[in-house]
Amino acid sequence: MSTSLASSQRLTITFLNNLKSNPSNAKSTDYEVNLSAMKDSGLPTGVRCLVGKSGGKRFLLRYTSPVTGKKASIGLGKHPETDIPTLRKLSKEYRQQILEGIDPKLERDNQAVDKAMTLERFFNEVYLPLAKQKRSWKDEVARFRLAKSIHHIPINELTAAHIIKVQMEMQNGLSKKSKPYAVATINRVIALLKTINKQAYKLMDAPFIANKVSLLKEDNVRTGYLSEQQLKEFIAYALDYPDKQTGAFLALLFLTGARDKELRFRLWSDINWQEQSINIPHTKNGSSHVLYLSDYMMEILHSIPRIRTNPYIFAGRKHGKPISPARHALRTIKEKMGLPDMPGDKANITLHSARHTVGSLLASQGVPLHDIAKQLNHADLSSSRRYAKLTVGRRREIGSRLSDMVSLGIPAGQ
């Protein structure tokens, strides 16, 4: 609620004292009085008095941040603790900072947290709101919990020794499942801490120590992959799986090399039937990606029972939701194929093995690395300029290579 006053009204202590409380049945917590518009107020534009339901009065300066371009506000104190001369002085100082391109709230907050903000507070209040723009932000929350022993360290006092401490604790410790942490898991936690430090360095001029900590050496083969014959057998079992949505999902996952969530959350509206493609609007890399499908893959799509009330291609049992991660179905198929289920073993077949399977089999067919990278939507290859110029025809040819390799004699809609 906002209250406008005639320009003839003067700003005085008596006026502020006489402001009535916000009605208890009002929708908003406070109502605002535009103090800047009052006669001879001596205040810059944007100064407001907010009056609460209990009668409390506080002063704000509303402005557009010259840093973010968004609407912002900064507190100027409370009545009667902050008198009118102090209100004028403080609001004018802040308005001058704004004219000079400085956001006074960001400036004040940074100065206030330099000494007091812990690593945990920085993560929750500064890093996480930015990280939530990524689809993987929940993973980062889980990883940050594993660094609990240094959460209390002030962000400006974080050292390489603190990060190495977490690294050593994880190397010598056990997970909740009472198993040693995988090297890849440790590295993800350490990489997150390094990224947090880089962010603190940029935003708060904290000491930059991220480059002093090295990640542990990893075996590049994180999961196993299927041979050409195994893939053919896998597709046959997948298409014969009782739940047709889940079976079709696994078949297309291992034929395209797509990421699990990026394929599982696709809508029927993402399919371009004429172009024989599926559009993925948002990928792990932050960009869109198009999966070009072979005739065989299109047959699989056509064989999927369509649920009118569910927009997802791979419709789950819950109303309006996609299928859950197909781990149970994967274990069932592995059992039929005689493949052991060995969690944590680098030779184990997982959902991520779809990407390794596609990459390794395309490579065995002589497909160049940059073409494989485009199929798998990798973003960090130095040859990105080269593979970014691939024609649609070339992309479609690469996408069809695996299905041509394994589809002979396998009906798409078993």
The pLDDT tens digits for 226-266 are: 888 999 999 999 999 999 999 999 999 999 989 999 999 99
pLDDT for residue 142: 93
Place of tokens 């739940």: 243
What span, in angstroms and rounded, lies between the C-alpha atoms of 304 and 273? 14
Nearest CA to 147 among 129, 173, 165, 131? 165
CB atoms within 10 A of CB 17: 10
Statement: residue 384 has pLDDT above 60: no
Q: Give per-residue pLDDT as tens, 311-365.
A: 999 999 888 999 999 999 999 999 999 988 877 677 788 898 888 888 888 777 7
pLDDT for residue 126: 87
3-state SS class at 382: coil
CB atoms within 10 A of CB 315: 22
**Under 8 Å CB-to-CB from 293, ≥6 apart: which residues?**
256, 276, 277, 278, 301, 399, 400
Nearest CA to 305 among 231, 245, 350, 374? 245
Statement: residue 387 has pLDDT above 50: no
pLDDT for residue 389: 43
The CA distances from residue 176 to 109, 151, 170, 171, in Å, are 37, 19, 12, 14
Statement: residue 381 has pLDDT above 50: no
pLDDT for residue 1: 46
Q: Give per-residue pLDDT as tens, 95-143.
A: 999 999 988 887 776 655 455 689 999 999 888 888 877 777 889 999 9
User: Is the entire prediction scored with pTM above 0.85?
Assistant: no
**Under 8 Å CB-to-CB from 56, ≥6 apart: which residues?**
78
pLDDT for residue 366: 75
Task: Please name the helix (run of DSSP H) or strand (run of DSSP E) that holds residue 79, with its range, or none.
Answer: strand 71-79
- Strand locations in 93-174 (E): none
pLDDT for residue 197: 92
Q: Give per-residue pLDDT as tens, 30-75.
A: 999 999 999 888 999 999 999 999 999 999 999 999 888 889 999 9
Judge whether 378 and 359 are in contact, CB under 8 Å: no
Q: Which two tokens stand for residue 399?
A: 């996408």
Q: Which two tokens stand for residue 211?
A: 């480059």
Rounded to a whole number of angstroms, the CA Rg of the chain reads 29
Q: Give per-residue pLDDT as tens, 140-197.
A: 999 999 999 999 999 989 998 999 999 999 988 888 888 888 888 999 999 999 999 9
- DSSP secondary structure letter of residue 213: -
pLDDT for residue 385: 34
What is the DSSP code string of 279-306? EESS-TTSS-EEEE--HHHHHHHHHSPP
Q: Which amino acid is at 161?
A: A
**More confidently predicted of 54 and 223:** 54
What span, in angstroms and rounded, lies between the C-alpha atoms of 245 and 304? 6
